[in-house]
Chain A
Amino acid sequence: MNKSASLRTFRHLLALPQPLRQRTFSILNRPPPNYPGHVPLTLAERGALAVGSAFGSLRNPHRHDLIAALGEATAKPYFISRLRTAMLANPTGRRILRDRPRITSQTMSLEKLRQLPESTVGRAYAAWLDREGVTPDTRDQVRYIDDPEEAYVMQRYRETHDFTHAITGLPVIIEGELAVKAFEFANTLLPMTALSLVAVVRLKAAERKRFFETYLPWAVGNGLKAEEVINVYWEEELETDVEVLRARLGIEIPPDLREIRKTLRDKNKAAKAARDARERLGAATGV
């Protein structure tokens, strides 16, 4: 009985006009990929991915793959197209889109970068990578953006994120990442960068105070004032002086976060040690 009912339904479905028939089988009728690794998603799937990855990355900020998926799911319809148009409107951006350079540990030789003069962009990048203990290979491949050129723009943004860290000197800890994300939102307008600022709730009270007083105003002010960082051809700027590049882009360096934290930590440790010594003394003397 069940079988004949389903067979009847199936025949009714096949009798529909072609556009309707295609619509009823959309999930099973996925279009072919536009580039290697491309996974085309329907609107509902993209929405679910955005919501799921947003909450997942809030619970565990070290899940960089969820952050990447959030970025790709929220980039269409307008934001990644706007970024690509901004690249096409700039002569250097056009050259980047034409050459499509990739940043991996093969294309960026860290040994050569470490040998560059002290004040160059390449040396600063290598020094920052060593200080934070990361490599250029930790970036995920873009999978959920349909247009191949827009997928490349997203990939380029991801791969040059570390350069933004390097020339601003902000560390990989959550506080530093949030400052860089705020700067990137003001500069590139990608929704994922704004959504990740929700992770402010995970900061301690003192860190949050420092973020809202110092780093957020710095990020928004500089991000809006500066040139589009996506249009910088980093492979050609490796031997430029960092100060010169910052001046050209219009970026001021923020206070060194690691230094501030270290000073604060040392001060707290000294105060705690003094307090402990007084208590032990008091216990011994009975005062």
Chain B
Amino acid sequence: MASTALLRRVLALPPPLRRSVYSSANSHNGAREPDIYDVVCIGGGPVGLSFVSALRSHPSTRLLRVALIDSQDLSTSRTTDDTETYSNRCSSLTPASLRFLNQIGAWEKVKRDRAQPYHAMDVWDGVSGSKIHFDSVDQQQTGLLDAVAEMIPGSRFQASRRKYEMEDAVVATMCENSNTTSALLQRLHDLSAEQLGTQSELKMLDKTRVDSIDLGSEPKDEMLLDLSQWAIVSTSHGQLAARLLVGADGANSPVRRFADIPSPGWDYNQHGVVATLHVDRQLTVEDLRTAYQRFLPTGPVALLPLPGNKASLVWSTTPQHAAKLKTLSSTDFIAAINAAFRLMPVDIGYMLSSTSSTNPTDELAWRGTATPASSTGLPRNFPRVEAVQEGSIASFPLRMRHASTYTGHRIALIGDAAHTIHPLAGQGLNLGLADAQSLAHQIAYGVDHGMDVGSCWTLDGYNNDRWAKNNAVIGVVDKLSKIYGVSSGPVVWGRSVGVEVLERLGGLKGWVMGAAAGMK
């Protein structure tokens, strides 16, 4: 009698409380059960945070029980307000990534005066000087007749006027990684404020190291929960059982290792040198900005615009050259950067070789006068680098990895855990954000259709959507880096002819830009 009355009272409780009574009643017997979560995301970088934000902002997945684990302190990744210093870890966000960040409500939290949209790209060959100019003009849909007419020399004047009449002429936006992550954290904080104290509160476990990931143990009898097919994450804050374990934990992903997913690939024998530079031109918000990239045989060097007179450098070069660059004084480093864009490859190699005893500044002064800009393909508006920000020179090794599959039983990989790519096309973070968007979309679909979000019925859709696209982009970028790694011979001639032809075919160039911008 008493038990039925108790049961009726328990059944009359609102569902969240009812569930907590049940689970607490269950957890009385036996050892401490792991905390059960619908989604556990390991990794609090931009990709992991955007994935969790997407889950929290979508009405279907808003009430899922989600945990986010990261070993860094997430509350301190706030950007400074100092307009004179910019972090050397910047990413180029494509319009598709910006649309995603807008959709999840994070882009409005970004400090917009520290983000720099750019409107054109100048890319040229360091050996032959053949160049290509990417512009928003090419992305406008024009007919075949217009494409033929554009090939007549002198006729693109009308087309270039259309650029100024376009609404959104942005090719991509440069944004510091810390700016993006702090905006995402702010958004998560605002979303959590609405659901404080409920079951579906976001569990943010920062400063937490993952000790191990194992499958659950076999249950002692039939009545207990069988978590033997579930991933149990052991941390210093206790154990978490994940209905779906998402690995957003970087290139050496422990989640990927736990899932035994192989990640074949190769090292590029190149190091990416990054720095924040000051150029000689002070530009305002209204000015049209250009990103520059020169393909040297040792690797591409890129100058990406930041607000004001700042720019971000990404130079992929041999490990020996990278080591030499980091030992140079500020003035010599600046001379080496200017040389990388203006001088012939033999002069750059001589300047950075370990045996050369000459001063880079003197070498640049001499060789700069002997190397006319028309012979190297230097764009006319290319600025001069004047200074480098203190302490912003760093380097990291470059490699290519692609996981054989992105999903396993109750496992999914997004971002660098799934793929690592050469930075020459600025696609790394954008592919990761697209992964996060796709996985969140699949989980919403699964929840709407009553599926178990960790089962292959939900996760296969994510794999099908993203794996082939990422493979294509990684493959193309890898082949580009190999084609431009050749310094003489027929390959140089072939690629120069290809670039010259592509420069004149506006429609094809527009398609390439669309593919790089992540348009569906």
Same assembly: yes
Does B154 lie within 8 Å of A17, measured CB to CB?
yes
B372/A147 in contact, CB under 8 A = yes
Which B residues are CB-close (under 8 A) to A89?
346, 349-350
Is B155 interfacial (CB 8 A cutoff)? yes
Inter-chain contacts of A149 with B (CB < 8 A): 370
Name the one of A19, A94, A98 contacting B350, with C-beta atoms under 8 angstroms: A94
CA distance A19 to B504 in the complex (A): 15
A88 touches B (CB below 8 Å): yes
Q: In chain B between 371 and 408, which residues have their CB closer than 8 angstroms to a CB of chain A?
A: 372, 375
A88-B344 in contact (CB<8A): yes
Does A105 reach chain B (CB closer than 8 Å)?
Answer: no
> Are A18 and B346 closer than 8 Å at their CB atoms?
no
Number of A-B pairs, beta carbon distance below 8 Å: 25
Cβ proximity bits A79-111 to B, threshold 8 Å, 1 near / 0 not: 000000100110000100110000000000000
What is the minimal beta-carbon distance from A94 to any residue of chain B, in angstroms? 7
Q: Does B366 contact A (CB under 8 A)?
A: yes
B344 and A17 contact, CB distance less than 8 A: no
- Is A85 touching B153 in the complex (CB atoms < 8 A)? no
Q: Report if A17-B370 is in contact (Cβ < 8 Å); known contacts: A88-B346, A88-B347, A88-B350.
A: no
**B-chain residues with CB within 8 Å of residue A98 when the two chains form the complex:** 366
- In contact, A20 and B153 (Cβ under 8 angstroms): yes
Q: How many residues of A contact B (CB 8 A)?
A: 13
One digit per residue, 1 when the CB lies within 8 angstroms of any chain A CB and 0 when it does not, for chain B 406-435 equals: 000000000000000000000000000000
Among B154, B349, B350, B375, point to the contact of A147 (Cβ < 8 A).
B375
Interface residue tally on B, bucketed by range: 10 to 19
Q: B355's closest neighbor in chain A, by CB?
A: A91
Residues of B within 8 A of A97 (CB): 370
A18 x B344 contact (CB < 8 A): no
Interface residues of B in 309-326 (CB under 8 A from A): none
Interface class of chain A by DSSP: helix
Inter-chain contact B154/A18, CB cutoff 8 Å: yes
Give every chain A residue within 8 A of B155 (Cβ-Cβ). Answer: 17
Complex: A147 Cα to B376 Cα, angstroms: 13
Query: How near does chain B come to A29, taking the closest CB pair, in angstroms?
Result: 16
| Per-residue B-contact encoding for A34-49, CB less than 8 Å = 1, 0 else | 0000000000000000
Residue of A nearest to B488 (CB): A82
| Most chain A CB neighbours (cut-off 10 Å) among B152, B155, B346 | B346
Closest Cβ of chain A to B356, distance in Å, is 8
Residue ID in chain B nearest A18 by CB atoms: B154
Residues of B within 8 A of A17 (CB): 152-155
B154 pairs with A19, CB closer than 8 A: yes
Residues of A within 8 A of B152 (CB): 17
Asked if B154 contacts A85 (CB within 8 A), the reply is: no
CB neighbours of A94 from chain B (8 A):
350
Which A residues are in CB contact (< 8 Å) with B372? 147
Chain B residue nearest to A19 in the complex (CB): B153
How far apart are the CA atoms of A149 and B153 in the complex, in Å?
Answer: 32
Give the chain A neighbours of B366 by CB distance below 8 A: 98
Given known A-B contacts A17-B153, A20-B153, A149-B370, A85 and B344 have beta carbons under 8 A apart? yes
A88 to B346, CA, bound (A): 7
The residue among A18, A88, A97, A149 with the most chain B CB atoms within 10 A of its own CB is A88
Proximity bits, B328-352, A CB within 8 Å = 1, else 0: 0000000000000000101101100
A98 and B152 CA atoms in complex are apart in Å by 43
Q: B155: nearest residue on chain A (CB-CB)?
A: A17
With both chains docked as a complex, state the minimum distance between the C-beta of A145 and any C-beta of chain B, in angstroms. 13
Which A178-219 residues have a C-beta within 8 angstroms of B? none
Q: Which residue of B lies closest to A88 (CB)?
A: B346
Q: Which of B357-373 contact A (CB under 8 A)?
A: 366, 370, 372
Bound CA span A81–B375, Å: 11
Closest beta carbon of chain A to B254's beta carbon, Å: 47
Q: Would A20 and B154 count as touching, CB distance under 8 A?
A: yes
Identify the closest chain B residue to A85 (Cβ). Answer: B346
User: Which A residues are in CB contact (< 8 Å) with B347?
Assistant: 88
Instruction: Please list 23 pairs of residues, one from A and one from B, whose beta carbons are closer than 8 Å in the complex, sorted by A's number.
Output: A17-B152, A17-B153, A17-B154, A17-B155, A18-B154, A19-B154, A20-B153, A20-B154, A85-B344, A85-B346, A88-B344, A88-B347, A88-B350, A89-B346, A89-B349, A89-B350, A94-B350, A97-B370, A98-B366, A147-B372, A147-B375, A148-B370, A149-B370
- B residues with a Cβ closer than 8 A to A are 152-155, 344, 346-347, 349-350, 366, 370, 372, 375
Sample of 13 further A-B pairs with CB below 8 A, known A85-B346, A148-B370: A17-B154, A18-B154, A19-B153, A20-B154, A85-B344, A88-B344, A88-B347, A89-B346, A89-B349, A94-B350, A147-B372, A147-B375, A149-B370
Top-6 shortest CB links A-B? A17-B154, A19-B153, A19-B154, A88-B346, A85-B346, A149-B370
